[in-house]
A = this chain, B = another copy of it.
Amino acid sequence: MMQPVAKGLTSIIRAFSYPNVPGVLGLQTQWNSPSAFQNIRPLSMSLWPFGAQPRDFSQPNASWSPEMRRVYDHYVALCEVETVGGEKKRGPWRKLPSYNRTLKYARGGAYLSKMIQSKARLFTRSIKEHGAAFEYAIFVNKQEKRCVCVFQSGHLLEGPPGHVHGGAIATMIDTVTGGLAGCLSGPIMTANLNINYRSPIPLGSVVLIHSALDRVEGRKTFLTCRVTSTDETRLHTDATALFVSINMGHLFGT
């Protein structure tokens, strides 16, 4: 049985993708290794121990606009730097992999089994059609305690005619700030989102979602977030987010 926890669990699922999650999935050895976390290109040798490698939804697909691909390629390039000797090594940025249901690929425990059998899918990755809903990739710079997400909105995300729904924007802000908070603080859940909508986002356009750590106070991780045009001249939305660290055992009744 799952135990109730004191706060919303919004962002827990993200924690499964990050290397600083306690080993509840028995994957800590593989996932703590930088190469598994890096995940910039398809791995030539799978580190995944459970058969087929899960699909990483943050890889480019045919629905991506040239602008989406350009920004993505820019940040992918920052994930590797060339040394003076011409050798390539890890850069300051990392791309976060993104699955539609991480638990589907994990094992162990009655609760997990029940989950595996269900049809549940992560909200931001639940639509199969490429480009119809959320297309995004998140790049994290742990040294600078910040991240950038490139986001292309699909036609199923409409709010006001021709523009992205405020709830879809909130969803991406939760996803991006929670992604960074998970990287920096380990397993967390969303406790507060405070969002100012300043200018509407045209449906189908590409925007950047920037997030940065504000401060950590005990179990609380505070972050800021801004949604801008790709040239950063136009501010669409700004927000603050608060995440609370949780004991992963709550999720599995241990």
Footprint of B on A, CB under 8 Å?
Answer: 2, 4-13, 101, 103, 111, 115, 118-124, 126-127, 133, 155-163, 165-175, 178, 189-201, 203, 236-237, 251
Contacts and interface: CB of A to CB of B under 8 A. Distances in A.
Contacts of A155: 118-121
List the 5 closest pairs (A to B, CB-CB), nearest first.
A167-B171, A8-B197, A10-B166, A9-B160, A12-B160
Nearest to A5: B200
A159 B10 contact: yes
6 contacts: A8-B237, A9-B200, A13-B161, A126-B157, A167-B167, A191-B197
How many copies of the shown chain assemble into the complex? 2
Interface centre among A11, A158, A162, A198 (most CB of B within 10 A): A158
A166 B194 contact: no
Contact of A193 (B120, B159, B195, B198): B195
A223 to B, nearest CB: 14
Contact of A123 (B165, B175, B196, B251): B165
A172 to B, nearest CB: 7
Nearest to A172: B167
A194 B192 contact: yes
Contacts of A160: 9-13, 189, 251
